[in-house]
Amino acid sequence: MQVTVRIAAGICGMGTELILKGAMDGDYQIMLSSDCQLVQSLAPYLEEVDQLMAAAGRFSKNPIFQAAEACRLHAACPVPTGIIKAYEAFCELALPGNVTITMEKQD
């Protein structure tokens, strides 16, 4: 199985790609590439993460959000949520589907 997530973070213009490949109950690989150095610093944390906790852990105990905090990602950065969505699909806890945030400011 392979799950690929591509995230366009927004106004910063930084792109991220995450690939989870292998078997949920066996060996798997995680590959992270990003234009953002802070997001790149998540890679070592992701190699050690418990898949089910990443997919279903609550905000305060989720290892992806904890790693994002340790790496000093901006609170509104959508990348951690995108990574969690990838783990959800990889662990077959949710069907893969696109997520969209649309923003408009009016004076």
The confidence score (pLDDT) of residue 92 equals: 92
38-81 pLDDT tens trace? 999 999 999 889 899 999 999 999 999 999 999 999 999 999 99
The confidence score (pLDDT) of residue 31 equals: 95
For residue 57, tell me if it sits in a domain. Answer: yes
User: Would you state the structure tokens that stand for residue 72, as one six-digit string?
Assistant: 């000093």
CATH of the domain at 45: 3.90.1010
The percentage of residues in the chain with a pLDDT greater than 70, rounded to a whole number, is 100
Q: Residue 71: name the closest of 34, 35, 36, 42 by CA.
A: 42
For residue 82, tell me if it sits in a domain. Answer: yes
Instruction: Tell me how far apart the alpha carbons of residues 72 and 38 are, in angstroms, rounded to a whole number.
Output: 7
**Average pLDDT, integer, range 75-88:** 95
Give residue 8's domain range: 2-90
